[in-house]
Each structure stands twice: as C-alpha cells, then as structure tokens.
Amino acid sequence: MNADYVIVGAGSAGCAMAYRLSEAGKSVLVIEYGGTDMGPLIQMPAALSYPMNMKLYDWGYKSQPEPHLDGRELVCPRGKVVGGSSSINGMVYVRGHAGDYDHWAQSGAHGWGYADVLPYFKRMETWHDGGHGGDPAWRGTDGPLHVSRGPRDNPLHDAFVTSGKQAGYPVTDDYNGAQQEGFGPMEQTVWKGRRWSAANAYLRPALKRPNCDIVKGLARRVVIKDGRATGVEIERNGKVEVIHANQEVILSSSSINSPKLLMLSGIGPAEHLAEHGIEVIADRAGVGQNLQDHLELYIQMAASKPITLFKYWNLIGKAAIGAQWLFLKSGLGASNQFESAAFIRSAAGVDYPDIQYHFLPIAVRYDGQAAAEGHGFQAHVGPMRAESRGAVTLASADPKAAPNILFNYMSEEKDWEDFRKCIRLTREIFAQDAFKPYVKHEIQPGAAVQSDDELDAFIREHAESAYHPCGTCKMGAVDDPMAVVDPECRVIGVEGLRVADSSIFPRITNGNLNGPSIMTGEKAADHILGRGMLAPANDAPWINPNWQTSQR
C-alpha cells in the first residue's frame, strides 16, 4: 500500500487534490473513514436536514459547554462519508469576498490574495445562470464543480429581494461575480437535480483513473522519520497498518480532524502534547488554535397566506416530492430551497459586507422541526467576521476519541453589538411594503423582544452554528509563531507534509465555506505539483463607493 501522494480525508479539498494530482499522472491514495455517499438522503438536495443529523454520515461532534451561550453544547457536524462535509452540507455556493483573500495575503499568506485565488474559482466551476443574469466573465465554464441556481418560483424569494431594495440596499444578480454586496439569487452546488458534492464532481472521475484509489480506514497518525512524513498509520478491519507516501502526505480531514491528527503525530503545542504523553516532533503553538465559525439566528415570520413550503411538510407531501425527485430528478426535491440571499454591511466605515442572509420560504430548524405556527418563512442571519476565537485540543491520545472543541462564541463585546444589529436590520427588511401581503406576525424572536438585554437573552438561547468551522492550522509566514503551514500549505518544521482544507484559513471568509475549501484543494494541488500557479486575475471587484459614510 503506497503511492506518490497519500491524502487523508475524501472531503471538499481532498477530492479536488485527488483529481488534480492523478490528472497530472501521480499515483494517489485517499484514506476515508466514512462509507459510501450513494443514497437518496444524500443525493436529493431537499433532504439536506437528514444526513446532517445521522450518525452514519456525521462524526457527531459537539462543542464543549459554551461559556457565553448559557453553557449550551452546540452541534458541530462534519461529514464522515465519501465527499466529506460536501455530502451533508446545505449546498450553498459562495466564493467569499475579495477583501477576505486580500486580508489573508496581508496577514502572511502571500500568494492567496483575491487576484491569486479568482483563477482557481474559475478553473473549478461550470456555472449555470439559469436565466437569472450574472457576471459570465467572472465565472468558470468547464470545471468539475457544477454551480446552479434554484428556480425561485416561490413569490417570497422575490419579496425578499424587493424588500432589500425598498430598504435602500443594492441589488446584485451575482454575489459570486464583481459585486457581492446586495440582495439577489443564491447559488447551489446542484446539477441535474442532484447534490453536486466534491465526490460527484472530483472523486468519481479521479477513481476511474488507474493511478487513484480510496482506502477505507481510520487515520491514527502521520508516520514521521528523521523529520520527514513517510506515511500514515491507519486502522482497518481491526488491524493497524501503514500506508506509505513516496513523495508527500497531505491532510485534508477538516478543521476539527486535521489539527487532531497533527497533534497525535507530535506536531502542536509542546506542553499540550506532553500532557497526553505524545513525543514532540515539532512544537507549533498554533495547531488547534484560531478556531472560527459563523453563528446565526433564524428570524421567523408567520405567513398570512398558505404559499410557503409548509404545505408539503407532511408524509404525503414529502412522499410526493421524494417520488418526483426519484423518478425525474426534478421538482422541490431538486433544490436546497435556499434560493435568495443577501450580503450587507452593518455600519458606515465597514468596507465590505459583514452580514449574510439565507432566505428560506418555510419556518423550520436545521434538525427538520417546523415552527408550531405552520406557514411561515425565515431569514438566517449572522455576522461574518466575529472577533471570538476558540480552539480544538486533544481530549486523549486515543485516535478514536473525539477532540475537545471550544468555539468560545460571543466572547467579545463587539460580537454582541453586531448580532443585535443583525436582528434589528432584519426586522426592518421584513417591515417593507413588499412583505406586507405575506406577513402575519413575527414568530421568533417575537415582537416583545426589543431591548438590548432582551435581544442578548434571545441570542444566548437561540444562536446556532452555521457549521463553518475553520482556521485551526493557520496559513502564514514561516516566522509567524502561530502559523502552522506556509503559503504553499507545507507544515512548518516537518518535511513532506501538507495541510489543505478549511483549517488553513487565516480568517473566515464571507458566506459558506464549501467553495473556498474546494478552491484550497485546487490551488494546493498546483503547489504540490510545483508547476507554477495560474496567472493572477486583474478583475477589480465592486466596493460600495459610499462605504465610509453610509451603511447602505
């Protein structure tokens, strides 16, 4: 069992690297602990609340009791299945804002500015505008990842965008193009009615090549000899064995499992490793630190007309949607239902959006529980760049033990101010004329919740993770004591070992992280192959000309 490259984790970045490295003629072995992603609950977009809550497909991680959220333990789903979290996520496709990547480059991740990453976003996607306009020059036409738009048949989608306009915000017909800021259509990784995960886009085609294969097993640690990674120790069928890497080992097992594996392999904060009796190979203080996420709330409204998806929220309705999808790959089952979106700025002086909206024409929770009111709709809203930082640490030296995850959500005062603003701005949008025909009353938080203290209590009780953990193996300059990998994704202090997944993000990007995670795999593959990078783009993104003086 050996290959030029051994990739740990068949997730968003891992699948992209398996495809690109094998395409270049290298032999690749991908280690994945989870099982197959074939089955309607994963492949049918509208069924997204199921796999996310299933032990079969999810590692089942939870945070430690969060001190600033009344000690709640928040769930942290991570895909334990071929395709990784791209097989259990909400399929929302967001590249992130140009300003996010320019911040990466300024913070030490040289060569990862927006001009550097935009060509990789173009290379990886085949974009379908669905007749809703957009910025074709900014988009890809022949990449493995199909990106599409929902039909937006429900009148509430239009009401949401029109209300944003009435409230004075810009409208954008492509938030993944030149202008992210504003209200417009949302994009999804769905193609021909199916979830277009990294497994469907990248891994299946790669596995058809003779030089790419997948091994089912639990990665226990990276084998390091004389300061160089030579393979990965795995357990499969109750036996421990080593898979040898002729050239390099690449970890792409998520912002939770990648730092865990590094620490189990002796790479991390020396004192912490010593506590668990692990021999220190490289003392890297940043491993597991810098953990970030997006936290969000659902602002739910009761609908005055029975036009929401609630009419299908029963056995017969779900069976009908399921049958139409199964036989025709069409109908409501073929969309994740997130078909309208917005990115806005919270205040004058904020140079690019720091609040995101997902709009949904039903009032429902991620675990699939519908609001007691019946017909309703909701906007998921939260700040994009929280100041709070958490950590992933080892609970034990046993590779089978879950790590300790503490996000330390809402530990900074500014995060509270930003969240209150999110709620108040959302209420203002729902109060516009375009929503007048559809709004009955506010379900959550409820009209009685108005003061700062009341809003804070609501946030403490109801804020949920948007499931975008990242940052725990920060990419930065070699002399940055908190950096774990250099700008070529090489682990600092060890030869022949790289990390490429959302754990290397220096700071969280705007919006959902699946797109940026796949881009990371695409770009990392070129670093690994040492073939030179795609030429930087010189497209200039739109920044609101009045950002210094106005909020919208």
Angle, alpha carbons 366-370-374 (nearest 5°): 150
Per-residue CA distances from 345 to 97, 382, 546 (Å)? 12, 12, 11
Q: Which residue has the tokens 């046993």?
A: 398
Joined together, the tokens standing for residue 181 give 């800021």
Q: Please state, in angstroms and rounded to a whole number, the distance separating the CA atoms of residues 473 and 294.
A: 18
3-state secondary structure 5-21: EEEECCCHHHHHHHHHH
Contact 199, 86 (CB under 8 A): yes
CB-side neighbour CA atoms (13 Å) of 394: 26
Where is the binding site, in residues? 81, 89-92
Contact 120, 522 (CB under 8 A): yes
Which residues fall within 8 angstroms of residue 313, CB to CB, at 6 or more apart? 362, 364, 370
Nearest residue to 131 via CA among 193, 163, 173: 173
Which residues fall within 8 angstroms of residue 158, CB to CB, at 6 or more apart? 152, 340, 434
Name 444's bridge partners.
300
**Which amino acid belongs to residue 493?**
G
Q: Please state, in angstroms and rounded to a whole number, the distance separating the CA atoms of residues 189 and 329.
A: 15
Where is the binding site for FAD, in residues? 81, 89-92
Q: Please state, in angstroms and rounded to a whole number, the distance separating the CA atoms of residues 543 and 537.
A: 17
Q: Please state, in angstroms and rounded to a whole number, the distance separating the CA atoms of residues 466 and 52.
A: 12
Q: Which residue has the tokens 């999110």?
A: 422
Contact 228, 116 (CB under 8 A): no
| Catalytic sites, residue numbers | 468
Contact 268, 259 (CB under 8 A): yes
Neighbours of 131 (CB within 10 A): 8
Contact 70, 51 (CB under 8 A): no
Query: What angle in degrees, to the nearest 10, is found between the helix axes of 514-529 and 12-23?
Result: 30
Count, in order, helices (H) and strands (E) of the chain: 13, 25
DSSP letter assigned to residue 203: I
Joined together, the tokens standing for residue 317 give 């309705």
